[in-house]
Every structure is written in C-alpha cells, then in structure tokens.
Chain A
C-alpha cells in the first residue's frame, strides 16, 4: 500500500508542474504590456523599465518561471490589485466558505444519491426506479445557476411566511456575530504562525465554528443559509451518484455469489447491503472523485447566485475587474486542490480494491 501511495505521489509531480506551467503561460499570454496594464496607459518608458526590473519581467522566461514556482512553493501567489492584498490572504479568507459549501453539497449528494441508486437497483423497473432515473437524467442536465435562482424564487418568495421559508442569499443574516472558536476558548496564538492560519481557516467555516463555540443561534442561521446553495450544487453529483450506484448494483446483483447468498437463506437486507453494496462501492469512488471537479466549478456559479463570498465569488469579481492575479492564483490553487482530491480518491480506490495496489 505504501509503495502504491509513493508511486502515485510521484506521478502527480509532473502534473503539478504542468499546472504551474499552464497558468504561468496563460498569464504571459494576456494581451498588452503588464506594466501599462497595472500603471496605466501613460506610464513612461523609464517607469516601465523600473517596473519590469522590480517584477523580474526583464529576465529570461525560464528564470521567470523558476521565480514563479519558487514564490508559489513559499505560498506567495502575488497581490491582487483590486483588493490590494496578498492573494494567499484572500484565499485563506474565502476558501473555507467554498470548502464548507462543497462539502455540504457532497454530503447531500452521497446521502440522497446512494440510497436512491440502491433502491432503484433492488426494485429494478418499478415505479421508484423509473422516477429516480427520470429525475437523474433531468438532474445531470440542470444548469446549476438556474436551479439556484428557481430555488431562491420558490423558497424565499413563494413560500414566504411559511415554515419552509429559506433565505435566498448571503452566508449569514445581518447582525449575527461570529467569534472564532480559538478566541472563545482563550487560546493565545500569535498571528502569522502556521497554527494560527490553520485555526483561522477552520473558524471561518461557520457551521464548524458554531459547534465548537456552542453558539446554536449561529448554527441555525448558518445552516438555513446553506440549505439552498448546497441543494442546488448537489444536484448534478447526486444524479451521477444515483445512476452509478444503480448500474453498479445491477451488475453486482446479477453475480452468482449473490444468488448463492440468497439460496443459503440470508436475509435480503444482508445480501443487498453486505454482499452487493460493498462491491458496488468501487465504481462509486470513481464517480464521486469525478464529481469533485464539477463541484468546484459549480461552486463558482452557486456562490455567484447566492452571493456567498467564497472562492467562486471572488473569482467572478476578479474576472469582471480583470484582476488576472486573482484568476491565476485561484486557478492554480483550485487545480492543486483537485489533484490532491484525485490522489485521495485513487488511494481510497486502492484501499477498496487490493487488485489495484498489488498490480
């Protein structure tokens, strides 16, 4: 298993370099002179030469790439001119919201998608199966931004003044105060340390912070604000998971050992859950891994619709303000995140199926 993990880690190094090179190349392809883009059209040659020298733009392209990789290795993604802040700082502020949203959406899609898939496989061709599959087909075809807006319309306007009313935007209601859990606990960590960054990152996940500080008002508010975006974002992965679970289960349920298990008088429940489902998990790990990319892409759209200040939202702002630093920095980080997630999926794959790690 260790050999497998090491081999898999080594294999992702060239991909990481490729990602860095791709984003580096993209930034160099931006039409126009970076100096005049930053300092304005009227910048003189002297000013620009100084600017280029300061940012290393007068050096050969290979050295520039080396500098870029070195900076990223040190966690430096440059500055955003729109927010006049280091991009790393912006990332640490915004990423928790996206992680929380994506995680919630993934949970919804797994906990709804898998049971639906199992039920439709067990009751193959019944009305449950037909309805689930119709719904799954519609689900994968749904533009997430449209679904988000429609959900907001239904739950914020049509169901207004009913118990089902849900807030259509923002992460928290106005007036709700959050205190980071490490402050409530009286921990003293100086800013700038890695420990602080990590705790700060975790405390920005509102639900987690609410639980850790036992602030139930905050928990309730954070939860009801998360329902609509998480449901909207979960639709496509949920449909994919339901479909994949169903087909994997159908495949497994047709095997001889399932018939044997039934023949020897095992309860149907035990056959389905213990014998069949465990073997259907493998393709499921793949489809969950594949949905993660869509989840991160969909987060951009969902955050834009629900006005959540996560990574997606800032990326959108960066696009509209032509803040290439943000787009570049965030793309690199999300791609690395994605590579790491795929790595985890691959390793879990090897864990689930010994044939893979022993190959």
Chain B
C-alpha cells in the first residue's frame, strides 16, 4: 500500500489564515457563488435603484390625471402601452405601460410602487422582529409561566391562517395601509418569537453565559450581549424570507381593498382596482402583478441563499 500525500501546491494559503476571514466574508463569498442568490440580489438592486430614483425617472407624478396635462380629446382611458421606439405613432402620447382607469400614467405609478413595496416589507418585518425578539427572549430566558403565557399566545396566533387573521384584524381596526401593515406585522410575530426563543434556550445554560453571570453581569447585559447575538443568523434568514411573504400579504390585502387606498400607487391596490378590466385592459393587471412577483422572488432567492450561506449544513439540500 502506498501512502498518498497531498501536493502542497493545491492548498491556498490565503484561505487558511482564518483570523482574516470573518463570518460575513465567508457568507458573502458563498452568497455570490450561488446563481440564484445573485439573481435575487440583482433584481433587488434594480428595485432599490428604482425606488430611490422614482421622482427623477418617472415621466409623470403617480397621482396626476392626464386631464391636467393634455386636452381631453387626446387622452383615452385605459389606453394600451404606447412606445414610440416600438412603432407607436408619434402623434399619440407616449405611455410605456399605458394609462389606468383614472387617466394616470401606469409606468409612473409602477415606479413609485417599488418604493411602497420595499417600505412595506421592511417596516412590517422590523416591527415583527422587534416585538418577536423581545417576547421570544423573555420567554426563553426566564422560562416558567412567562414563557408559557407568551408561547400559548403565539400558538393562538399561529392557529389562524395568517392572511385570514390579518383580514380579521384590518376589518376591526379599519382599512388603510398603516393598519394593514400593523395587521401583517402582528401575524408575523410568532415566527420570530419562536426563532429567538429557540436560540436563547440553546445557549442559556452554556458555560460562557454562566461565566458572565458569575462575573456579575446584569440580566440586560447577559441577554442582549451574550445570548441574543446567537439568534442573529436565523433572524436574518427568517427576516429576509419574511419580507417576501409580508409583501405578498400586503398586496393581497390591498387587492381586497383593505390595504392601501386610492390613489396610493401600491401594486396590489392598482391590480385590485382594475381587476374587472382584465379582458379589456390586461396590461393594467399584468404589470403590477409581475412587479409583485419579481419583488417577492428577489427576497425569496436572497433568503434561501442567505440560509445556505450562513448554515453550510443545509447547503446540499437546496
């Protein structure tokens, strides 16, 4: 039997110097290696760019009726997209995605919609993460009846299909974008509370926590500086995927007329108000829906990528 030696030339010395590579660098490297997460990041990048530059690139204000711009005989309700470069007659006004039922430029509304969608996703998830983290941390750290009460409440919230609970909440507190966001925020709390509680439970009894306690650290310090950082990784993954479902649910609520109210350029609401025109003006349904799908897709791809990058044990599974 011959012994095999690994040729030293194949070892990259750079990757061996562990002290210079942080978890975030490894994560970033893994993330960029996955095609699907790169696609997610590209879509997201474009969306963020659109959201920031909307006022400059949008040809019109999102709430402006074309009646205020042109003489009435030149404008048509729900006109099909007209792009001069693609052969639309030059005497017709250019509307990249046509006009909607209230004679507004659909393209401008779509651009501003990107803003709203990102804000909706980020704000609901931030709300849910803050409340969920506090509840999960309290329950996991103190245990006993506090934990019992908190987790039973979370069980009840989870017993409702999330969209239905959000619908019930909005029906009670009244329709509107803020209320819809609040409702979606509330129904997504349990997911984060569970994640944080799980992480807290897994490290609560570890030696370094006991050491910190023995050194006289107060509860606040132990909980927030020693224990909670462990929950950061699963929270980031859950949060990214949570943004996707929050955007989807918010669009659904707006579609049902419970979320953003007209004339707010919210994709779900735009789609909802024109849904009966799907046979006569399909573009007014097609574009907002496509935009919702792409946004949700971007967050889903990124979330999946982050999960695999942060937890290599799962990498082979997706």
Q: Contact residues of A with B, CB < 8 Å?
A: 14-15, 18-19, 21-23, 26-27, 29-31, 133, 137-138, 140-147, 149-150, 152-153, 156-157, 243, 247, 250-251, 254, 292-294, 296-298, 300-301, 304-305, 315-316, 318-320, 322, 324, 327-328, 331, 334-335, 338-339, 342
Which one of B156, B162, B297 lies within 8 Å of A297 (CB-CB)? B162
Q: Would you call B159 and A143 a contact (CB within 8 A)?
A: no
Separation of A142 and B245 alpha carbons in the complex (Å)? 10
CB atoms of B164 and A331 under 8 A apart: yes
Q: Hey, what's the 0/1 contact readout for B142-162 against A, CB within 8 Å counting as 1?
A: 000000000011011101111
Contacts of B125 in A (CB 8 A): none
18 A/B residue pairs, CB under 8 Å, sorted by A: A23-B168, A26-B168, A141-B248, A141-B293, A143-B289, A144-B252, A147-B289, A149-B271, A150-B285, A293-B160, A296-B161, A296-B164, A297-B161, A305-B275, A319-B167, A319-B258, A338-B160, A338-B161
Using A293-B161, A319-B167 as known contacts, list a sample of 4 further A-B pairs with CB atoms less than 8 Å apart, ordered by residue number in A: A143-B252, A149-B285, A318-B171, A342-B159
Q: How far is the CB of A68 from chain B (nearest CB, A)?
A: 15
Interface of B is mostly: helix
Are B156 and A316 within 8 A (Cβ)?
no
Residue of A137, A146, A327 near B285 (CB, 8 A) is: A146
**Nearest CB in chain B to that of A16: its residue:** B159
Tell me, in angstroms, the Cα distance from A339 to B172 when the chains sit together.
23
* CB closest residue in chain B, given A251: B317
Q: Is the interface of A mostly helix, strand, loop or mixed?
A: helix
**Which residues of A are found within 8 Å of B161, using beta-carbon distances?**
292-294, 296-297, 334-335, 338
Report whether A143 and B293 are in contact in the complex, using a CB–CB cutoff of 8 Å: yes
**A146 surroundings in chain B (CB, below 8 A):** 271, 285, 288-290, 292-293
**Is there a chain A Cβ closer than 8 Å to B218's Cβ?**
no
Chain A CB within 8 A of B316 CB: yes
Chain A residues contacting B173 (CB-CB under 8 Å) are 29, 31
> Is A150 a contact partner of B156 (Cβ separation < 8 A)?
no
For B156, give its contact among A15, A140, A294 (CB under 8 Å). A15
Query: Which residue in B153, B168, B255 is a CB contact (below 8 Å) of A145?
Result: B255
Q: Bound complex: CA of A180 vs CA of B267, how far in Å? A: 43
Are A331 and B152 in contact, with the CB atoms below 8 A?
no
B131 in the interface (beta carbon within 8 A): no
Inter-chain contacts of A26 with B (CB < 8 A): 168-169, 172
**B318 interface neighbour in A19, A247, A297, Cβ under 8 Å:** A247
